[in-house]
Amino acid sequence: MRTAITMTLGLMFLMTTACSEHTGRTHDHAAGADMMKKPDPAPEMKKLQRMVGRWTGTAEMIEPTREEMAKQMPEGEQMGDMKFAGGGTTDWVMEGHFLKSEGWHEMGPGQRMNMVEYITWDAGVGKYRSYWFSDWGEVGEGTMTMSADGNTMTFKSEGFNAHGERSKGSGTMKFVNNNTIEWTWTEKGPEGTMKLKGTSRRQM
């Protein structure tokens, strides 16, 4: 695959050069060299530095309520805990162009979901953009904006669960201090609206 891509790019380059020479165009070699220079990460990425580290946390479902959930449970089946734990590690990858998070959270008794997320800066829309995947088959992407003081991130997302069902989400992530994050999350999908809140703490 890599060989095929390299050959294709090479042919495209040769064809472009030949056409340019045929029409009498000239190339500014200095400009061309500058275009081929690898760009530095966007300055906005540095604002995410304090997300780097190892984190653990707890969360709870606040909507539907326990009473509402109990009404939906099949007769004789016990409802699980409304609170759950999670954790993960965030670090720079791709020479600082992306922030990568690998984490997990509980999904009921004896089950957990593992996830990977990449965050980068999208200069075209002036927002951070994220892409994530899980070992439950979920996939999605979203955008994030940062408050003027840099303490709060607001985000929106769209994605699909393992059954191919579309969902939309929104939430906030606030740095109480450099080692504590409080967050909220609201997700709307085929089964209705779910709201969560939680706290993550840096592990020293």
Find the mean pLDDT for residues 5-9.
37
Instruction: Please indicate whether residue 63 or residue 8 has the higher confidence score (pLDDT).
Output: 63
Q: How far apart are CA 39 and CA 168, in angstroms?
A: 33
3-state secondary structure of 202: strand
pLDDT in tens, 55-109: 999 999 998 776 766 666 666 666 566 788 999 999 999 999 999 999 999 887 7
Q: How far apart are CA 64 and CA 85, in angstroms?
A: 18
pLDDT at 14 over 90: no
Find the mean pLDDT for residues 28-32.
56
Whole-number average pLDDT of the chain:
83
Tokens of 173: 């992530």
43-202 belongs to which CATH class? mainly beta
Q: How far apart are CA 178 and CA 196, in angstroms?
A: 22
CA torsion 10-11-14-20 (nearest 10°) is -120
Instruction: Please indicate whether residue 151 or residue 36 has the higher confidence score (pLDDT).
Output: 151
DSSP string over 113-178: EEEEEEEEEETTTTEEEEEEEETTS-EEEEEEEE-TTSSEEEEEEEEE-TT--EEEEEEEEEEEET
The pTM is what?
0.77
Tokens of 146: 């940062």
Bridge partners of 152, per DSSP, are 174
Find the mean pLDDT for residues 45-61.
96
pLDDT band of residue 129 (cuts 50, 70, 90) is very high
For the chain, give every residue range classified as CATH 2.40.128.20.
Answer: 43-202
pLDDT at 24 over 50: no
CA distances in angstroms from 199 to 107, 158, 182, listed in the order given: 17, 23, 5
Q: How far apart are CA 81 and CA 174, in angstroms?
A: 25
